[in-house]
Amino acid sequence: MSTLENISCNRAFGGWHKRYRHTSSTTGTEMVFAIYLPPQASGSRKVPVLYWLSGLTCTDENFMQKAGAQRMAAELGIAIVAPDTSPRGEEVANDEGYDLGQGAGFYVNSTQAPWQSHYQMYDYITKELPELVEANFPVNDKRSIAGHSMGGHGALISALKNPGRYLSASAFSPIVNPTQVPWGQKAFAAYLGDDVEAWKAYDSCELIAAADANDRTPMLVSQGLSDEFLAEQLTPQRLKQAARDNGYPLVLEQHEGYDHSYYFIASFIEQHLKFHANFLV
């Protein structure tokens, strides 16, 4: 089991926000994640966990510092875990663009050089990190997952690819059809190669269309209608249609005037936490 190094510790709403560094066997690098432990996580009591996946260019700090999630998490008794968005370091492949390389792991397992050595983010977030968290903190095995933009993509595919592993999933402004939009096409061509069929394994629209009738994870998606990436990169109506066609329990909420920023996330994060609490608590 990886050794955890505590980087920082801050009291918040009766609980604790902590950041840790560890050597990942999955990515072959040092990885950083944050965890908020609510006040209920004390003594012998264990609490459920919401995993939060952030978007392009972000680290664990963006959500934890900007979303204002801790107050409601403390009230509901839910821990929040926020990993980084990619492996990092001098030895880790990178790109000049903000939408590929470090800070842009897209939560896939790369199969192509030079990325495959470290960019195994899907296995990291769905396997190694939960095992590490559950072995070292007062949490139980009740999990949900959420995210924003690229992280919304990661949250939805993680739930869809692992029926029963997450009790619920939600996303703000997710990239729902990456095989058909510029952000996804650039990243998938680099990480996964030229076989477009292989890309579909990480596409929420493809996964939700093919989901088995017995595999149903409740999902909530929030989208701002003033989001500058709405038409070209996000295309939420495609996910709504795929869910409708397959009878999948997806709720898509669209909000006038809201954009792609953390102002949007902060405005509705309490709703998302309460949504997850319906299944976790």
CA 53 to chain centre: 3
Separation between Cα atoms, residue 19 and residue 267, nearest integer Å: 25
Question: What is the per-residue pLDDT across 243-255, written as a single tens digit (0 to 9) for each?
Answer: 999 999 999 999 9
Phi-psi category of 193—alpha, beta or left, where left has phi over 0 and alpha has psi -120 to 50?
left
CA distance 243 to 133: 32
149 in catalytic set:
yes
Say what the pLDDT of residue 240 is: 98
Ramachandran bin of 96, using left for φ above 0, alpha for ψ from -120 to 50, beta for the remaining angles = alpha
Choosing from 153, 227, 272, 276, the catalytic residue is: 227
Query: Which pLDDT value is given to residue 97?
Result: 97
What distance in Å separates the CA atoms of residue 249 and residue 156, rounded to the nearest whole number?
13
- Asked if 181 and 233 count as a contact pair (C-beta separation under 8 A), the reply is yes
**Percentage of the chain lying above the pLDDT 90 cut:** 97
Thinking of the domain 5-280, which architecture would CATH place it in? 3-Layer(aba) Sandwich (3.40)
Q: Which of 17, 260, 272, 276 is catalytic?
A: 260
Say yes or no to pLDDT of 1 above 80: no
- Say what percent of the chain tops pLDDT 70: 99
Give the integer Cα–Cα distance in Å for 11 and 281.
23
d(CA 29, CA 117): 10
CA dihedral 63, 66, 67, 71 (to 10 degrees): 110
What element of type H or E holds 55? none
Per-residue pLDDT, averaged over 69-92, amounts to: 98
Question: Contact 174/149 with Cβ under 8 angstroms?
Answer: yes
Q: What is the pLDDT of residue 44?
A: 82
Mean pLDDT of 80-90: 98
- Sorted by where each begins, the domain ranges of the chain are 5-280
Q: What is the mean pLDDT of the chain?
A: 97
DSSP annotation string for 223-271: EETT-TTIIIII-HHHHHHHHHHHT--EEEEEETT--SSHHHHHHHHHH
Residue whose tokens read 């949504």: 275
∠ at Cα 145 (141, 149), nearest 5°?
A: 165
Which pLDDT tens digit goes with each residue over 199-236?
999 999 999 999 998 889 999 999 999 999 999 999 99
Is position 227 annotated as part of the catalytic site? yes
260 given a catalytic annotation? yes
Classify the C-alpha dihedral 145-149-154-160 as positive or negative: positive
Rounded to whole angstroms, the Cα distance separating 273 from 41 reads 17
3-state secondary structure of 8: strand
pLDDT tens digits, one per residue of 107-159: 999 999 999 999 999 999 999 999 999 999 999 999 999 999 999 999 999 99
Say what the pLDDT of residue 214 is.
86
Rounded CA gap, 105 and 147, in Å? 14
Q: Which of 149, 158, 168, 173 is catalytic?
A: 149
